[in-house]
Copies of this chain bind each other. A is one copy, B any other.
């Protein structure tokens, strides 16, 4: 089985989707001959034609709005927003239309679109290129929000997103685009987009993370293992709707939970997870639920970026803190 990076896995999934379903269409800024600024669509316009892999003008609002219209009229648009920081102009269409069209028309018109965007920090990018806005999107009823953390999951989740009958926001942790290689079979098998993934099993503490934070959490778990502390590591993968069951079961077992995300603390998605546990698993909790997150400030320009991003050291500190709680 070929080893590949996340960006290659994404390209493979996009290519397969274009091949298997003539209604799939890709559009966005620079997705054509340039192949996307991260090369997610490299070679696709050459292979499937410029009418199926289309460069758009610089118009995020229209990209999202066109995706809604095209989806409602029978296409399966996979639109790209070049960076999550430029997604805001698309929010109106996502919140006021994409997420509601099925409901508004009692199922008559639907909106099977995917909006992909490179997401998160960690690559020393310029201002506005490192945003983590998943919590805002996860608040919107009717959307799905999916974030892969490995090449294989990127492949399977993206295929699922494209085939899903409802609108999916698919955030790709750009820091992982080329950081990991793993075997990915181009077998067209989708992964479920309503399930979190238990990446490692343990007994003492539950770590919940997604995207690039999985790498940090995993490293923390390795180090904890050396200290004799074993962790469940849950990759949320699908953030909306949230797979509350998997998280609850784990915490009912371990009694301790540390949640990790890059986005700022306040009203981040970690809050929802902690709140859910506080409501439903209170009696299982042996220690307070800790969140290790980006700070409640704008991510600093890249010279200080590393100090903003949660890392294994901060996770370890939090885990020790919950382990020591008595």
Contact = CB atoms under 8 A, between A and B. Distances in A.
Interface of A: 61, 85, 88-89, 91-92, 95-96, 99-100, 103-104, 127-128, 133, 135-136, 138-139, 141-142, 240-242, 263-264, 266-280, 282, 285, 287-291, 295-298
A153 to B, nearest CB: 22
Nearest to A100: B298
A253 B50 CA distance: 65
A266 B99 contact: no
B298 A99 contact: yes
A100 B130 CA distance: 14
B88 A95 contact: yes
Contact of A274 (B95, B269, B271): B271
A216 to B, nearest CB: 20
Contacts of A278: 274-275, 277-278, 285, 288-289
Contacts of A92: 88-89
Contact of A271 (B89, B95, B128, B272): B272
Given A89-B89, A91-B91, A241 B287 contact: no
Find the residue from A95, A100, A272, A278 having the highest chain B CB count within 10 A.
A278
A270 B266 CA distance: 11
Nearest to A93: B88
A289 B271 CA distance: 13
B241 A296 contact: yes
B272 A269 contact: no
Contacts of A264: 139, 141
Contacts of A135: 135-136, 139, 267
B287 A282 contact: yes
B242 A266 contact: yes
A267 B274 contact: no
Contacts of A88: 91-92, 95-96
Contacts of A276: 271
Please name the 3 residue pairs, one residue from A and one from B, whose CB atoms are nearest each other, closest first. Answer: A274-B275, A88-B92, A278-B278
A96 B184 CA distance: 37
Find the residue from A135, A266, A268 having the highest chain B CB count within 10 A.
A266
A293 B291 CA distance: 23
Contacts of A279: 274, 288-291
Given A142-B297, A274-B274, 10 more contacts: A88-B96, A100-B298, A103-B297, A141-B266, A141-B296, A240-B267, A267-B271, A272-B275, A273-B275, A278-B278
Contacts of A240: 266-267
27 contacts: A61-B89, A88-B95, A89-B92, A99-B298, A100-B298, A103-B297, A104-B127, A135-B139, A135-B267, A136-B267, A141-B266, A141-B295, A141-B296, A240-B266, A241-B296, A267-B267, A267-B271, A271-B271, A271-B272, A271-B275, A271-B276, A275-B275, A275-B278, A275-B291, A278-B288, A278-B289, A282-B287
